[in-house]
Amino acid sequence: MDSGGRCIGIFALQVAIGGISAIISGFTGDLNTLDVYLAGQDFKARPPCRLEDGHALLKDLPPLPHIQVAYAAAPVLSGEDASRAAGTFYPSKARTNGGEIAAASIPAAFRNLQWVLVAELDRAEILTPAVTQRRIMILISLTCAAVISIAGWLFARPATRQTHRLCAEMEAVSAGNLETDVQAVHRSYEISKIGKTLVLMQSDLKRPVVPRSITKHCSWNRRQRLWMG
């Protein structure tokens, strides 16, 4: 502008889209679904998406909440005010295609231009380490349970075998085989008490049993002798 207010020239600054894309989305790492881009006030994408199925250059963006809130909350900033603008993180937002993402947005102002810098990442990729860790913990739990089960089976096997043998000996004694050798007597823990009880029963059964009729006859003879004096 000259002293009279007439326009005598225009200063233009042109930045290649490739340069902007290299600055914004030129990164390397393991985040395969991460997308960082600029959104204008007309809700058009400035650089193209780095993902194959993403938006193209100057393509209309869907009315995403994290872009709308960033524009509504931030006035037109410039200079140091733009560098101090606060961003907002959204842990879970739904996409128009049905996916679920985590997003962050922050106003980005240059002169009289107002943009929003947006970063989006699929929640499935964020939760992948947690899912992997959960599977590892489940595998460790199952392995520990299997080891404890096998150890318990090996520990209980001798007792169950001795119990089975004692049951067989009791069945033999009840069947009339009074000469059965009770092995449980030689044990040093609770099962030996059962074996000793079985041996006592075996000894009682070996004693001769006096018929009841003979006992009654002896009692009658004893009373007769007492009466006769």
- What are the distances in angstroms from CA 43 to CA 38, 69, 112, 177, 225? 9, 13, 17, 98, 130
Amino acid (one-letter) located at 199: V
- Domain residue limits, the chain: 17-123, 129-228
Provide the 10 A C-beta neighbour count for residue 116.
26
**Per-residue pLDDT at 79 exceeds 50:** no
Residues with Cβ within 8 Å of residue 155, at least 6 apart in sequence: none
pLDDT mean over 51-67: 77
Please, which pLDDT band fits residue 55 given cuts at 50, 70 and 90?
confident
Cα–Cα distance for residue pair 24/160, rounded to 1 Å: 71
Contacts of 159 (CB under 8 A, 6+ apart): 191
Q: State the pLDDT at residue 148.
A: 94
218 pLDDT band (50/70/90 cuts)?
Answer: low
Residue bearing the bigger pLDDT, 125 or 193: 125
Domain 17-123 has CATH 3.30.450: yes
Residue 119's DSSP bridge partners are 36, 104
Average pLDDT value for residue range 25-45: 79
> How many alpha carbons lie under 13 Å from residue 47 in its C-beta half-sphere?
23
CATH 1.20.810.10, applies to 129-228: no
Average pLDDT estimate for 79-108: 74
